[in-house]
């Protein structure tokens, strides 16, 4: 096979596409009830948008971006995540001037990350995501988390775990950061090479290192929760209170550190606990990013959002054995048998039925009548319309109901009415 999809990419074939559509529609419905509006941003941005928006110290920017130069010598990058793009669009289109604040947005988008493919990790991945810009109300944090949990619940998932943490405001973070450096610096040589770098770049991330998890200094490391100033502490408590009011279960994990630089205050992750889900359990992750809009040249604007992996969502549904209801049946199949005139009439008839709201298909493979019936059967056609020389002569159609096997002669001029009555309940 010489022509293959690039590594880490897959084709979504019709059978699966139907599942995607189902999930997308359900999600759009939830977004509508939460009063979020869709936004669509370009597939690629100036590389700088992500460097500044996502953060230079992140894995995404350092080693995972699909960056290329266009013919004009500009450095562009296929978007690796959604927040930076949406924030750029917010600033560029001056949505901060919209009287309807906060601005509540959702998106479905392909993301691109140059990584080694694995179960639940593709180089081109699909995300559903949400961003709320313009409000620093802790109730918004709760609303965003509620939206994500509602999507999962309405699709039928039950084995979920919501983990939250607070990274605090700038003052809290700076104090904690200094405490971390003071704590780990004496033992620097004993930590893994990644952590040694993290200690100077982003010491917070030392905390969720899997390699050094058992190092004795980990247990005694200063917790961010002990360094939250009054305002940050109160904010985090309010978020938890709102979640409790909405009956949303959660656990606080002080070591939950989101990988992107822009997060502060609330950070959260939703994981699947279903059996056999694979090594990757994170379904969605997000957090608050007050300050990002300013970094991108906008006015001081608080923001919060999350990204939800679509492939992982479908994996989770499968892991929990949740069947997605898909109707693959066909209303009508026209079986034409006979002369060329019959073929012409069949073509005319198919067109007429379709333009009158009836789903219909016919054979184009030159199959024999028996094989055409087989095809109709495979398509799960509810009705078969047999058209032959006899019917052509009499200007009738033989209508067969496949489930019961009953047949009747219907004058062509009454066919649409008859089918509508049967298929649409007379509408």
**Site for RNA contains 3 (CB under 7 A):** no
Minimal distance, residue 38 CB to RNA, in Å:
19
- Binders in 194-253 for RNA, by CB under 7 A: 194, 205, 208-211
**Site for RNA contains 395 (CB under 7 A):** no
Q: Binding RNA by CB under 7 A: which of 47, 282, 420, 423?
A: 282
The answer to whether 184 touches 238, Cβ cutoff 8 Å, is no
**Site for RNA contains 279 (CB under 7 A):** yes
Omega within 30 of 0 (cis) for the link into 102: yes
Binding residue per annotation — 131? yes
The 299-338 contact track toward RNA, x by CB under 7 A, reads --------xxx-xx------------------------xx
The enclosing H or E element of 390 equals helix 389-394
Nearest residue (CB) to RNA, 126 versus 301: 126
Nearest residue (CB) to RNA, 139 versus 192: 192
Q: Binding RNA by CB under 7 A: which of 55, 168, 203, 285?
A: 285
Q: Binding RNA by CB under 7 A: which of 15, 35, 71, 116?
A: 116
Measured CA distances, 313 to 268, 308, 317 (Å): 17, 8, 6
Segment lying near RNA (by CB under 7 A), choices 21-29, 134-142, 219-227, 258-266: 258-266
In this structure, what are the phi and psi dihedrals at residue 131, rounded to the nearest 5 degrees?
A: -140, 135
| Full DSSP string of 250-268 | -EE-TT---SSTT-EEEEE
3-class state of residue 49 by DSSP? helix
Q: Binding RNA by CB under 7 A: which of 269, 320, 331, 345?
A: 269
Q: Binding RNA by CB under 7 A: which of 85, 127, 166, 264?
A: 127
- Binders in 12-41 for RNA, by CB under 7 A: none
**Site for RNA contains 383 (CB under 7 A):** no
Write down the H helix ranges in 6-133: 14-33, 47-53, 59, 83-92
* Torsion sign across C-alpha atoms 135, 138, 143, 144: positive
211 CB-near residues (< 8 Å, 6+ apart): 192, 194, 195
How far apart (Å, rounded) are the C-alpha atoms in residues 194 and 160? 30
Q: Binding RNA by CB under 7 A: which of 78, 132, 293, 384?
A: 384
Minimal distance, residue 137 CB to RNA, in Å:
23
Segment lying near RNA (by CB under 7 A), choices 69-77, 136-144, 374-382, 413-421: 374-382
Residue 372: both structure tokens together: 């055409």
The enclosing H or E element of 155 equals helix 138-155
Binding site, annotated residues for L-histidine: 81-83, 113, 127, 131, 258, 262-263
């Amino acid at each position: 096979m010489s022509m293959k999809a690039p590594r880490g990419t897959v084709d979504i074939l019709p059978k699966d596409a139907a599942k995607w559509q189902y999930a997308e529609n359900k999600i759009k419905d939830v977004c509508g009830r939460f009063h979020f509006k869709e936004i669509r941003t370009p597939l690629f941005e100036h590389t700088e948008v992500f460097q500044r928006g996502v953060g230079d110290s992140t894995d995404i920017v350092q080693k995972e971006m699909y960056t290329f130069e266009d013919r004009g010598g500009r450095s562009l990058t296929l978007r690796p995540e959604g927040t930076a793009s949406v924030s750029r669009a917010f600033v560029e289109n001056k949505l901060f001037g919209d009287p309807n604040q906060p601005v509540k947005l959702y998106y479905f988008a392909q993301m691109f990350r140059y990584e080694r493919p694995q179960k639940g990790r593709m180089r081109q991945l699909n995300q559903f995501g949400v961003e709320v810009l313009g409000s620093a109300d802790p109730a918004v944090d709760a609303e965003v988390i509620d939206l994500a949990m509602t999507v999962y619940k309405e699709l039928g998932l039950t084995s979920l775990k919501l983990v939250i943490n607070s990274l605090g405001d700038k003052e809290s973070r700076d104090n904690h950061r200094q405490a971390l450096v003071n704590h780990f610096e004496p033992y620097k040589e004993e930590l893994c090479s990644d952590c040694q770098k993290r200690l100077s770049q982003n010491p917070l991330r030392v905390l969720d290192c899997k390699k050094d998890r058992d190092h004795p200094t980990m247990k005694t490391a200063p917790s961010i929760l002990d360094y939250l100033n009054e305002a940050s502490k109160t904010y985090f408590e309010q978020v938890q209170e709102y979640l409790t009011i909405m009956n949303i279960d959660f656990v606080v994990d002080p070591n939950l550190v989101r990988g992107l630089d822009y997060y502060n205050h609330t950070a959260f992750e939703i994981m699947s606990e279903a059996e056999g889900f694979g090594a990757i359990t994170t379904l969605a992750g997000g957090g608050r990013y007050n300050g990002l809009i300013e970094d991108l040249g906008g006015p001081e604007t608080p923001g919060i959002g999350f990204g939800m992996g679509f492939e992982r969502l479908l994996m989770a549904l499968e892991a929990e054995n949740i069947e997605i209801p898909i109707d693959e049946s066909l209303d009508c199949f026209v079986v034409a048998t006979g002369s060329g005139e019959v073929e012409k009439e069949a073509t005319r008839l198919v067109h007429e039925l379709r333009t009158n709201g009836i789903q219909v298909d016919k054979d184009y493979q030159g199959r024999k009548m028996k094989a055409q019936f087989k095809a109709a059967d495979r398509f799960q056609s509810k009705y078969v319309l047999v058209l032959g020389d006899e019917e052509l002569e009499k200007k009738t159609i033989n209508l067969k109901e496949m489930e019961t096997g009953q047949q009747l002669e219907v004058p062509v001029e009454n066919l649409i009415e008859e089918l509508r009555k049967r298929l649409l309940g007379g509408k």
